[in-house]
Chains A and B, each alone.
Chain A
């Protein structure tokens, strides 16, 4: 008997020691959920259809070039709403040439209505790949932006087909973060057309190959916002793709305003040099996500591949713009599906309230168990205390995140952990009423109650596991603490309290058990 007790005691000491070691220091081992420490939780959807559309547009451009090179003349070359590229050669004999060009592209022939027209579309495998790439690339780009912005321990995860989960603890300016993450940041350089006449274009007669985009101008004195229109050539001469760097500079000559200096790579510099050389005297618009930032007149050829984007930013705006330009543009726009932000004060408040209810609940249970079961109740209380140590240990070991519902889960566990002891104690009382000795009653109580406790806990576990599967964020935290709590209570309420009973009974000859 004595020997038997020894290995049990050793096991308990090992388990508890391991739990304490895993849990300490609490601050480092257990991280707080966004609902407790404050922060931002976002779910974005990458508009992958847009990425496919962009790919189709790019392909259309390339095919146009190829057709020109091969001197194939056509009456139709366009893309329909299903991203099918439709080509109609002027002369029937050119059809084989077109087919030959198409061979270089991941396109499959599809039927289109209209005589002489040939339709080509992406195969489903290729479409899927474009979408996959778009999401991966968006994730990578956003990760870059967040890293450069500087957030402590951000979480970025792909979710399902086209969603991205982002968690940013301790963000103090949520709107700025959203802007940084959510903007496509497509930088384009387009020539301004000043000859055609802006008025005519604004009346609806936009010439082919042109578009009207606007610049937002804020009047410094009155603060009123004005939208200034520009008639631009639709084709972008240069894009942010060729950037190597972007940084904030202060304009020391005028008003000390910040601007963003961008530096192109080799190809970009060459293109930029060519553009500026060919268009001296014209205006070159710098466009971000379809709004004009500035449209300076090209004074002379710019050979060094450097340009500046100015346009009345605040320091923060300039800083964020340089980040998104460095990190690159998103392959497709993103849409915010879910956004939950908790301020630090509410989080602090929730921790306090959660802890207070935990302490009150714990004290009430401890008092109740002591009053009802006296000495035995104290053993249950000891088991309860150890249970909490084990929960902390398990959470530390698995690096689990504690949320407000998670605290509620621990509180619920406090109430439920002693239930196992109640079942055992009631059984022991029953056995004693049958006139059995203390030792026999204790043995009988524990062994008879065991299966009941097991069954009851397994079913609760089943419900918790499904909850874990279903839940997100805070709710998952509830499932986690509940699952850990139930498992820990099986050890403390059944195993540990049994050892304590046996130990006590082996020391003293007890005639009457305080229960």
Chain B
């Protein structure tokens, strides 16, 4: 079976302006939403705060829970359903009455309101503001170091130019994924950073496959214009780029559908990341090499 027939020849390089504009537009959309929302929607891992997840015996409305909790000053808080109408998630970001005993206070207060229904505490989390700040810094460092490590490796195995082109594509992937998060107003927590790093690693797989072919072809077809060679390389590897993405998408999709609410945002990040990573390997990473090349000589890509 073949999805992409051999000998396919789509002119990706010619259309690169269009796709670059598209990517920039998406990222700008993310920037706009970033400002509309007043920054990223950091979860308690990064913002600090308290979270309580309750499972009620029967479906319970958010209003009933909010009403029951009105006696304690929750402060900056969100109450929402989590996966089903029986599950309630209460998130308190800051409160004058302090976070340390907040979980107990929420639990005790709701117990005094039997009309809301019986419940069981499934999960509680409390992260102090200092820890949140530390984690934010560490997350940023982890991503930066990973990108630097990758530049060095690719510069060593290929050339610095390839390394930089790959990094541009990876930063693009991270930014587009973050855009998806700000637009849908999803929470960014620790696992999302894990997903971003996995995306970085994954997107690179496809990019390297193309780069490898570009290098091989540049050596073999010395008379051809480099744009043509690069374009041919993208086409020749197109089927495997898509196939590897399909297999990964299959598993990520099943995680997204069946994995449950706890890792829903995590699998959402992976889902977006795998798609964007594939897109960037074809439309961003290699065309960036072309832009580079138009200013210097063909030989320097070998």
Contact = CB atoms under 8 A, between A and B. Distances in A.
A99 interface: no
B239 A426 contact: yes
Given A463-B197, A467-B194, A455 B250 contact: no
Contacts of A373: 1
A455 B208 contact: yes
Contact of B259 (A369, A408, A419): A408
A419 B205 contact: yes
Nearest to A456: B205
A345 B122 contact: yes
Residue from A354, A429, A475 having most chain B Cβ neighbours under 10 A: A475
Given A345-B122, A356-B258, A43 B131 contact: yes
A110 interface: no
B201 interface: yes
A173 to B, nearest CB: 11
B9 to A, nearest CB: 15
Residue from A357, A409, A418, A479 having most chain B Cβ neighbours under 10 A: A357
Interface stretch (B35-43, B134-142, B218-226, B287-295): B134-142
A203 to B, nearest CB: 29
B228 interface: no
B263 A341 contact: no
Contacts of B18: none
A459 B201 contact: yes
Nearest to A357: B258
Interface string A463-476: 11111011110110
A471 B125 contact: no
A433 B208 contact: no
A339 B122 contact: no
Contacts of A354: 259-260
A145 B116 CA distance: 37
B205 A408 contact: no
B87 to A, nearest CB: 9
Interface in A431-464: 433, 451-452, 455-464
Contacts of A181: none
Nearest to B209: A452
A415 B263 contact: no
A34 to B, nearest CB: 11
Contact of B208 (A343, A360, A416, A459): A459
Contact of A361 (B126, B197, B202, B255): B255
B181 interface: no
Given A349-B260, A470-B138, A372 B1 contact: yes
A219 interface: no
Nearest to A479: B194
A289 B205 CA distance: 59
Given A342-B122, A455-B208, A462 B258 contact: no
Given A411-B255, A426-B243, A340 B125 contact: yes
B108 to A, nearest CB: 10
Nearest to A371: B1
Interface in A105-161: none
B244 A422 contact: yes
Nearest to A174: B124
Contacts of A337: 127-128, 130-131
A356 B259 CA distance: 8
B146 A462 contact: yes
A452 B212 contact: yes
A340 B262 CA distance: 14
B257 interface: yes
A17 to B, nearest CB: 28
A212 B255 CA distance: 60
A419 B262 contact: no
Given A339-B125, A371-B1, A456-B209, A467 B146 contact: yes
Interface in B249-267: 249-255, 257-260, 262-263, 266-267
A343 B262 CA distance: 13
Nearest to A452: B212
23 contacts: A175-B103, A337-B131, A339-B125, A346-B123, A350-B262, A353-B260, A360-B257, A364-B250, A405-B194, A405-B263, A408-B263, A415-B248, A416-B247, A426-B239, A426-B243, A433-B6, A452-B208, A457-B205, A462-B153, A463-B197, A467-B146, A475-B190, A478-B198
Interface of A: 35, 43, 174-175, 335-343, 345-346, 349-350, 353-354, 356-358, 360-362, 364-365, 368-369, 371-373, 404-405, 408-409, 411-412, 414-416, 418-419, 422-423, 426, 429-430, 433, 451-452, 455-467, 469-472, 474-475, 478-479, 482
Interface of B: 1, 6, 53, 55, 100, 103-104, 120-128, 130-131, 138-139, 141-143, 145-146, 149-150, 153-154, 157, 190-191, 193-194, 197-198, 200-202, 204-205, 208-209, 212, 236, 239-240, 243-244, 246-255, 257-260, 262-263, 266-267, 270
List the 4 closest pairs (A to B, CB-CB), nearest first.
A460-B201, A361-B251, A470-B142, A415-B251
